[in-house]
Each structure stands twice: as C-alpha cells, then as structure tokens.
Chain A
C-alpha cells in the first residue's frame, strides 16, 4: 500500500497535470501554477473520495502544502480507524 503522502502526490499530479516526481511535499499553491481556488476545492473533494473522510472548512483552509495535506489526512485516518 503506498503511503498517504504518495497517494496525495498522485492525486495532485492528476489534478495539476504534472508528473508526481515534480510534486514534492513542499509544493504549495505558490509553486504550482494552476493550484487556484477551484482546484483547491477539487483537491479537497478528491481527497475526501480517496480516503473516505470529510474535511471541515478549517481543514481545507489549512491545506497549504502537499506535506501538510498528508499530515491532515494521516491525522484523520488515525482518529477514525476503519
């Protein structure tokens, strides 16, 4: 099973049409050209579907980098073990 970070990078790669190798955990809306507000919403929705979690508006607000996103998801997955 790929790590949460790897899965987040795959999703980001699909959404931003970039190879996963070009998306580090330090990637942010400032470093990725088409990470705009609609794509930010799409990213949140894609994560919810992928990990079967619900992200609160506060958490979506905190999704400031790929690494941070992975930490938020990991935190949620640990809180609700399936």
Chain B
C-alpha cells in the first residue's frame, strides 16, 4: 500500500503512529516534510518529533546563530529538516549585530551555551555598508582598502573564536548586490564593487582552508542559485529586519543543514540505486540494449547527468551499490558494455540484481559491506518499492526520485547526507577498497583455517602517533565508527589536536597493508596517563578490518609503549551502544579483569607487571616514530 499523500490523512496517520510505532512515525514525518516544507508544517513536524524523543535514536546537536539580521523564522524550518535527518537540534540565537562582542567575550552567552556548531551570518550591507551602498563614491584604492578592512574584521572574529571554542564555525561569505552600483562599468576593470566583494570572499575561503573547523558557506552562491531578484523582501527587512523573502527561508535552512549533517555524523555512507528508469530510461528486460535511454543526447542525457552526480559522490567516499529487480545477465550487459554508461561494475561496492525482496537485498548488502543499514540512502524511481523499504526498514533513508529525470541529478547534489566537510585520502578510493575486500572474501573460503588465510594475507600493521596528515582521518573515524568502538566518543579535528597536546595524552593510529593493497588508516587509540595507570579513552577499528587481530596489534603497542614509560596498569571502559556488540568481549579476550564500577558501562584493567599482550606472529608490526613516547 502506498501511503496517502493527502496531508490531513498523513497527519492522522502520524499522530496514531507516534503512540504505536515511533520508527514508522518518523518515516511518515519525513514524507510529510518532503511534501510540505513550510513554516506551519515545520511546527507540526517539530512538535511530533519532540514527542518521539527518547523513542528514536536522534543525535543531539547544539547550534548557536551569530547574526546581523532576523533569523528566528528559519529556526523551525531548520529543526524540522534536522529532525527528519535524525538530528535533535537545540538552537540559541545571539543578539542583533552583537557577534563581535559575543565572540570576544569569553563569558558571553555564545560560550555558555557550549555549542557544537556556530553560524556567523552577517550581511554585506551590515559588515561593509560602504561597499554595499557607496562603492561608486570610492576610488580603486579605497575599494581595496575597504575589502582588506572587512576581511581583517572577519579574520579577527575567526581567530578569536578559535581560541575560545572548539566548536565548528560556519561563516557566510558576502553576497553581491542584485545590480552593481556602477552598472556594466563594474566589470570593465580590475577594481570595482564586485571585485572588492570577491576579494573578501577569496580571503574567507583561504581562512577556512587554514583554520581547523572553520567552514565557509557560499551565501553569495546560494542567493544566485535561487535568483538575486527574488531573494530579498525589502519591506520585511525594513519592518522586521528579515531580509530573506518567505519563499527562500527554507533554502537558507537547507544550506545550513549541508554543514550540520556531516558535523553530526548522520551521513549516508552508501547510495543504493535501482537500475531501470533510474540509471537509465526504460526497462532493459523489455527495451533491450538499443532501446533504453542513455547517452549524451535528449532524453538519455538526464540519466548520464544522474550517473555523473553518483560518480561525484564516490569521489567523496560514498559507496555505491545496486539493488534491482532484473535478470542479472541483461543488467550486467548494460553495466559492462553500454556506451552511454558512466558507471561501470568497478564503481559499485556491492550488487544485488535478482527478483528478491528489496528489503532483504538491502540487509544482505549491509552485511556484505559491513556498514549499518541506517547509513544507507535508497534511491528508486518506483514509489511502491520506496514505500516497501520505508515500512520494512524504517531506518533506511529513502530518496524518492521526482517525476522528471532531468531533476534526478539535482536531488542527489542537494542531499545533505552526502556532504563531507573534509576528505581523507581513504575517501576517494573507498570503493576500490571494498572491491578488494570482495576478492579477499572469495579467497578466504579456500583456506583450511582462518590462521592459514591470515598468513597468506601477509598482513602488515603500522602504528604511528598523530600527525598533521592523519588528523582529519582520525577525527573522521571517531565520528563515523560505530561497531568496533569501545567508548563511541566523537571528536572534532580541533579536539583531537588539543588532546594530543595535553600532558599525558597520546593519540595512536593504525594503518594496515596486505597482499591486496593498502587498507589505509583503520584504527585509532587515545590514551591518558594518570599516575602509573594508562587509561584508554578511545579505541576503535574501521569495520573493514574487524576480525583480523589488528586490535591485538594496536593494544600490544599501547601496552609496550606504556611499559617503557614505567606504567604498571592499563584500564579502560566498555560503554555499550546499540551497535558496538562486536567490541564487547575485547577486554576479556585480552586478559583484562573486570573492575568494580558503579557507573555506566563496564571497567576493565590489566596489570602490566603480571601480564603482556602478545601480537600474533602472522602480523608484521612496524612503528613510526613521533615526538611523544
């Protein structure tokens, strides 16, 4: 049954499900929000999710808005969108134009709120009134001086904020006016209003690149995308200080979400796509190789654009998988041979092309890739399949494709769950890693024992202290790893960097290579010496290397380094989460004793004077030296 799209029926269904089935209610609320994304719907959606709080696994996130204009009506839209993506957002708003004081004063409400993320939203007209309204009075030199002054102001704000907080900072860049004050003259030289604003924005990009946890939001690009002429509502600005027209408030909230979603970790790790009428137009089983629509001309170009958008996702580390009801031979022929295909079999980490139930296929793909099914985005043109997945697997994010195939690519490019704020070298080649994993699994079946197979793998583990090159990946692993993670503590780059410099703290990473290639950086430990005890704060492994004794190699490195420092005891917590069962026997397996402890989770200790952690002889361990020992 396809759920009714009649809003009042859907409202009734949601209200009934809020009591009986929270997961279904959440799924229906997402649908409701997609059909009607306005302020009144936002209030409804937020109200219902607030009732569901505690029954769903929502990620809390705290956002502080520093602003020079009215942003209050955007907040319900933002929170509704966030709820639908699994984020329970608490928002506090600073005073009008008080952003400098709030940033500079360490006792301000900004820092008291202890935000996870902060948006600095200041209009060109407020930050640079001379550039905005009087630019035609200024000489070339004066324009440049004005641009430098504005950039310096922003730089001071950013640096001061960075000194006082480890929260992520998202800075709006400056918008261009609808029509330049010098008309067409503005672009006939090198110094102009437009150029001065571009100069500030270039400087902001540079700052974002330089300062950890600082991101630039392309507000000028956002305004342009939706049309400068229609972006602003002058009357509402003059009466309510709200410069953004009502129809555009949603777009600004969505732009903020593109940053908040990756910061919260509620991202999609895999996009699972259908084939017929999704990757190409038509049905391969009926239309045949020459009949399907796919190529650079109308109408096949729409599907090529969609494939290009998916290919772009793989460059950010998103995995692709196929889940299609088809004859495998027909479908594989297109995937391997059709001249219009931009995606080939090597671009897919997993494939299920059969006539089985799609929910079952999705479960299998999740098991094969060893990632949580709640990190799947399911993309299908068929509303019946979408509905089936929604009901059978409410934790999967279902992306309905629009009627018009020429709008497919935009849906993917706009989707915040595919956004990433930093890339590690692992991200761009993630699919290749999974394809190699597929080969490994095939080979494993030919060996008598697991150990024989491990010997054959020629596994090499490199242990290294934190470095500038590994920082981004280490923070990413703490944010994304759910299964083999003893304490599931999430850290930003900024926090990891601060921890590693604090006395007694050590951050180690593990890189694994084997005969199939480099697995990349796949393990992290963070420890803290207290007296003669080394406390394990964080210990995690990427799901790619679970069950290969990499954890033993890392633990043994921690133990031997601790002994060298004269430490006599290791201790660590296991904090159970919904997903970290694969790590629950970690301490017991390595000879730790359970210690009496009243709080959350369990506490484990190992007496280093009595016991050692020995690493299996079939792993070669190398140590990369760092400053700390």
Contacts and interface: CB of A to CB of B under 8 A. Distances in A.
Interface of A: 10-11, 14-15, 17, 38, 41-42, 44-46, 48-50, 54, 56-57, 60
Given A38-B72, A41-B240, A56 B235 contact: yes
Contacts of A17: 43, 47
17 contacts: A10-B40, A11-B40, A14-B40, A15-B40, A38-B72, A38-B73, A41-B72, A41-B240, A42-B72, A44-B246, A45-B73, A46-B40, A50-B38, A54-B233, A57-B235, A57-B236, A57-B238
Interface in B224-247: 233, 235-236, 238-240, 242, 246-247
A15 B39 contact: yes
A55 to B, nearest CB: 9
B416 to A, nearest CB: 21
B406 interface: no
Contact of B38 (A38, A49, A60): A49
A42 B39 contact: yes
B39 A49 contact: yes
A49 B247 contact: yes
A38 B41 CA distance: 17
A10 B72 CA distance: 21
A63 B240 CA distance: 15
Interface-central residue, A42, A44, A56, A57, by most chain B CB under 10 Å: A42
User: What 7 A-B pairs have minimum CB-CB distances, sorted nearest first?
Assistant: A46-B39, A14-B40, A45-B246, A49-B38, A14-B43, A48-B246, A11-B40
B249 interface: yes
A45 B249 contact: yes
A49 to B, nearest CB: 4
Given A42-B39, A45-B73, A60 B239 contact: yes
Contacts of A15: 39-40, 43
B235 A46 contact: no
A54 B246 CA distance: 9
A9 to B, nearest CB: 11
Given A14-B43, A46-B39, A57-B238, 8 more contacts: A14-B39, A14-B40, A17-B47, A41-B73, A41-B240, A41-B242, A45-B246, A49-B39
B44 interface: yes
B72 A14 contact: no
Contacts of B72: 38, 41-42
Interface of B: 38-41, 43-44, 47, 70, 72-73, 76, 233, 235-236, 238-240, 242, 246-247, 249
B249 A14 contact: no
Contacts of A48: 246-247
Name the prevailing secondary structure of the A interface residues: helix
A48 B70 CA distance: 17
Given A49-B247, A57-B239, A42 B38 contact: no
Name the prevailing secondary structure of the B interface residues: helix
Contacts of B73: 38, 41-42, 45
Nearest to B50: A17
A37 B313 CA distance: 43
Contacts of A42: 39, 72-73, 76
B198 to A, nearest CB: 32
Contacts of A41: 70, 72-73, 240, 242
B96 to A, nearest CB: 13
Nearest to B247: A49
Nearest to B238: A57
Nearest to A48: B246
B247 A14 contact: no
A53 to B, nearest CB: 10
Given A41-B240, A42-B76, A57-B239, A49 B43 contact: no
Contacts of A60: 239
Nearest to B241: A41
A45 B74 CA distance: 10
Nearest to A60: B239
Contacts of A10: 40
B547 to A, nearest CB: 50
A14 B239 contact: no
A9 B239 CA distance: 25
A17 B48 CA distance: 11
Contacts of B235: 56-57
B45 to A, nearest CB: 9
B278 to A, nearest CB: 31
A34 to B, nearest CB: 11
A57 B242 CA distance: 12
A67 B98 CA distance: 39
B40 A50 contact: yes
A54 B247 CA distance: 10
Contact of A49 (B44, B233, B242, B246): B246
A4 to B, nearest CB: 14
Nearest to B37: A49
Contacts of B43: 14-15, 17
A17 B40 CA distance: 10
A69 B239 CA distance: 19
Nearest to B45: A14
A54 B242 CA distance: 14
Contacts of B41: 14
Nearest to A40: B240
B40 to A, nearest CB: 4
A49 B233 CA distance: 13
Contacts of A14: 39-41, 43-44, 47
A50 B246 CA distance: 10
Nearest to B72: A38
Contacts of A46: 38-40, 246
B49 to A, nearest CB: 13
Nearest to A52: B247
Contacts of B44: 14
A10 B70 CA distance: 25
Contacts of B76: 42
B37 to A, nearest CB: 9
A67 B106 CA distance: 49
Interface-central residue, A10, A41, A48, by most chain B CB under 10 Å: A41
A56 B235 CA distance: 7
Contacts of B47: 14, 17
